[in-house]
Amino acid sequence: MNTSVRQDSLPSPVPHYESLGGQTSSGLVKVNEAVRSAASYVSPSQRISEIRALAGLTIEQVGRLFGVSRRSVHNWINGNAMAPQHEEQARKILDVVRSLPGSSPDERRSALLDSSHGSSLFHELIALRGEPERLQTAGVSARERIGL
């Protein structure tokens, strides 16, 4: 599995502050926070790659966690930006995946898919994702259409 992470998608990290020269103590705090924030920034590509590397998930499975196509996942891995709702979902997924028991991707994947107690963690994550409103609906139920 390719777990390399593109570094060129980091945003321009440090906002401009009037006190960037370190004139005041409060200004310095702001600068330090901004630098720390930039250093800890995890790009969508990094998040997806880490999720896949830790839990051994396929592109298709990652797509289902977000409710997007495989193409979208590939695009994220290649450095495309994520919509805010997907960034939020990526953070949640990564938190869960990082906390999974096991020492290998296979073991962590098994823990993620374990449904012996009902819903697996994988499906609890799917339930967290937002869904667009459904426009196509069938006005007559399957039972009625089969003549029962």
C-alpha 39/C-alpha 2 separation (Å) is 23
141 binds another protein (CB under 8 A): yes
How many residues contact another protein, by CB under 8 A?
32
Contact yes or no for 69/84 (Cβ under 8 A): no
Closest CA to 95 of 65, 71, 72: 65
Q: Which of 30, 64, 74, 92 is in the footprint of another protein by CB under 8 A?
A: 64
- Provide the mask over 82-121, with x wherever binding to another protein is found by CB under 8 A and - wherever it is not: ----------------------------x--xxxxxxxx-
CB 90 within 8 A of CB 51: yes
Least Å from the CB of residue 121 to another protein: 11
Quick one: 7 or 119, whose CB is closer to another protein?
Answer: 119
Q: Beta-strand (E) ranges in the chain?
A: none
Task: Work out the angle at residue 41's Cα, subtended by the Cα atoms of residues 27 and 68, and round it to the nearest 5 degrees.
Answer: 140
Query: Mask of contacts with another protein, 31-60, x by CB under 8 A?
Result: ---------------------------x-x
Site for another protein contains 132 (CB under 8 A): no
Choices 15-23, 25-33, 93-101, 133-141; region in contact with another protein by CB under 8 A = 133-141
* Residue 93 near residue 125 (C-beta atoms within 8 A): yes
The region that residue 19 occupies, defined by phi over 0 for left and psi between -120 and 50 for alpha, beta otherwise, is alpha
Q: Decide whether 64 or 74 has the Cβ nearer to another protein.
A: 64
Q: Enumerate binding residues for another protein (CB under 8 A).
A: 58, 60-61, 64, 67, 110, 113-120, 122-123, 126-127, 135-148
